[in-house]
């Protein structure tokens, strides 16, 4: 029987434009906070699994990114594994850490996701993001999606085409797309670590500059810096008297490119695997985090996660069910568009939010009675599937 594993400590930095703070310092701050939250010390950590997506491309620091951050955090002697898996880098790191503990090789594992994206020309960062696609196929895919050879942002062009296809099959209006950003900006205004903390109006979102029609800038996740960390510990080792949150499932899937891709999207396949592992269904969820790198993707994820039926995403949003105070709040921390999307940190940040909610410590954005939470984190692109997807399900005390 597999060992049960808990998250016993979390740490997160403010997200945003942290130009005077290095990547290693961001990671060290999050790791130090997570260890302290767990009531542990550096000597209790058996393994560090470090998630980062772009430092190699942006700074030239390859191979030992986690070791560099560990040294800054006073963890120089701790074994380190480095995980790079596009936007799912740190949720994939959680998957690795969970396997390490379940195997019996380690009892306590620290996971950190960190990214430093500011301080460079915007196009340099966008080009680095594009390395999350099959670079040999980018010209072909770009022409297929847009009819042109070059776009401002490859990934926003991808999300724009997904959005247009979703509008055709669901009837979603531009107002529906904007209302996702409006909802999440209201949530982000309550999150002290969010990059943007101002509630937006529908008119503001629709009037913003178009990036890739129908997506405006206020529907797109921003360039950001930040880090988040988690301490995972075998339940049979105790929880240091803290409030543990049980990992019920952590499913990792890879996309399939081209005509051979399954009819069922990767996110739905991965969610179904996670539900089966956890022994729960979408009807059991109290709080959800989804990868809304573009706001309309949240509507699509409502359906892929089974929160509503096909084509019913706009109706679910309009009902208020996914807002704070609703039946199943989604992205109570503001999501990627308002909280920010430092790529390698996003997966861990989603789980920090779920742990905070399941502990009942989210303050003004607390989801009342939250017991079971799910995080969906996808990244990269293989056309038509994302390259990777992780779906994690957590349960609070007594769930």
- Neighbour tally for 95: CB within 10 Å: 22
**Residue 211 shares a structural domain with residue 68:** no
Is 228 within 8 Å of 345 (Cβ atoms)? Answer: yes
**Residue 110 shares a structural domain with residue 172:** no
**Residue 109 shares a structural domain with residue 215:** no
Residues spanned by the domain of 325: 122-220+248-395
**Residue 129 shares a structural domain with residue 258:** yes
pLDDT in tens, 92-117: 999 999 999 999 999 999 999 999 99
**Residue 108 shares a structural domain with residue 155:** no
pLDDT in tens, 117-164: 999 999 999 999 999 999 999 999 999 988 888 888 999 999 999 999
Tell me, what CATH number does 356's domain have?
3.40.47.10
How distant is the alpha carbon of residue 159 from its chain centre? 16
CA-based nearest residue to 188, from 51, 79, 292: 292
What pTM was computed for the model? 0.98
**Residue 130 shares a structural domain with residue 10:** no
Of the three residues 188, 209, 244, the one that is the final residue of a domain is 244
pLDDT at 398: 80
pLDDT at 386: 97
**Residue 106 shares a structural domain with residue 139:** no
Catalytic residues: 87, 341
**Residue 65 shares a structural domain with residue 133:** no
**Residue 41 shares a structural domain with residue 181:** no
**Residue 156 shares a structural domain with residue 51:** no
pLDDT at 261: 85
SS (H, E, C) the chain: CCCCEEEEEEEECCCECCCCCCHHHHHHHHHHHHHHHCCCCHHHCCEEEEECCCHHHHHCCCCCHHHHHHHHCCCCCCCEEEECECECHHHHHHHHHHHHHHCCCCCEEEEEEEECCCCCCHHHHHHHHHCCECCCCHHHHHHHHHCCCCCCCHHHHHHHHHHHHHHHHHCCCHHHHHHHHHHHHHHHCCCCCCCCCCCCCHHHHHHCCEEECCEEHHHECCCCEEEEEEEEEEHHHCCCCCCCEEEEEEEEEECCEHHHCCCCCHHHHHHHHHHHHHCCCHHHCCEEECCCCECHHHHHHHHHCCCCCCCCHHHHHHCCCCCCCCCCCECCCCHHHHHCCCHHHHHHHHHHHHHHHHCCCCHHHCCCCCCEEEEEEEECECCECCCEEEEEEEECCCC
* pLDDT beneath 50: ranges in the chain: none
Q: How many domains does the chain have?
A: 2
How distant is the alpha carbon of residue 211 from its chain centre? 22
**Residue 257 shares a structural domain with residue 299:** yes
**Residue 176 shares a structural domain with residue 82:** no
Burial of 75: CB neighbours in 10 Å, binned 0-12, 13-18, 19+:
buried
Please give the structure tokens belonging to residue 213: 């029609």
Please give the structure tokens belonging to residue 219: 């529907």
């Amino acid at each position: 029987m597999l060992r049960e594993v808990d998250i016993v400590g979390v740490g997160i930095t403010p997200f945003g434009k942290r130009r005077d703070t290095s990547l290693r310092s961001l990671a060290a701050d999050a790791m130090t906070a997570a260890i302290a939250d767990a009531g542990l010390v550096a000597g209790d950590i058996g393994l560090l699994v470090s998630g980062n997506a772009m430092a190699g491309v942006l700074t030239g620091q390859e191979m030992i990114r986690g070791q560099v951050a560990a040294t800054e955090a006073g963890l120089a002697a701790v074994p380190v594994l480095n995980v790079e898996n596009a936007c799912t880098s740190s949720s994939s790191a959680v998957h690795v850490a969970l396997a390490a503990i379940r195997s019996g090789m380690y009892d306590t594992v620290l996971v950190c996701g960190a990214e430093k994206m500011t301080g460079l020309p915007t196009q340099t960062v966008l080009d680095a993001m594009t390395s999350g696609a099959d670079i040999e196929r980018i010209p072909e895919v770009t022409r297929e999606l847009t009819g042109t050879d070059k776009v401002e942002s490859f990934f926003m062009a991808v999300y724009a085409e997904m959005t247009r296809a979703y509008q055709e099959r669901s009837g979603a209006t531009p107002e529906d797309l904007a209302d996702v950003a409006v909802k999440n900006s209201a949530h982000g205004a309550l999150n002290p670590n969010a990059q943007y903390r101002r509630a937006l109006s529908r008119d503001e979102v629709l009037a913003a500059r178009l990036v890739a029609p129908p997506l405006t800038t206020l529907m797109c996740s921003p360039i950001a810096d930040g880090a988040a960390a988690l301490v995972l510990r075998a339940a049979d080792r105790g929880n240091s008297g803290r409030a543990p949150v049980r990992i019920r499932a952590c499913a990792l899937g890879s996309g399939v490119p081209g005509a051979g891709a399954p009819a069922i999207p990767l996110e739905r396949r991965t969610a179904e695997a996670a539900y089966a592992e956890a022994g729960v269904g979408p009807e059991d969820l109290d709080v959800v985090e989804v990868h809304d790198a573009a706001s309309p993707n949240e509507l699509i994820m409502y359906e892929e996660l089974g929160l509503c039926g096909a084509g019913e995403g706009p109706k679910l949003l309009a009902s208020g069910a996914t807002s704070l105070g609703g039946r199943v709040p989604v992205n109570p921390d503001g999501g990627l568009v308002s909280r920010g999307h430092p790529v390698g940190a996003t997966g861990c940040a989603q789980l920090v939010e779920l742990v905070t909610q399941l502990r009942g410590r989210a303050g003004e954005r607390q989801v009342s009675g939250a017991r079971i939470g799910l995080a969906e984190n996808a990244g990269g692109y293989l056309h038509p599937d994302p390259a990777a997807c992780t779906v994690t399900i957590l349960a609070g005390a007594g769930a």
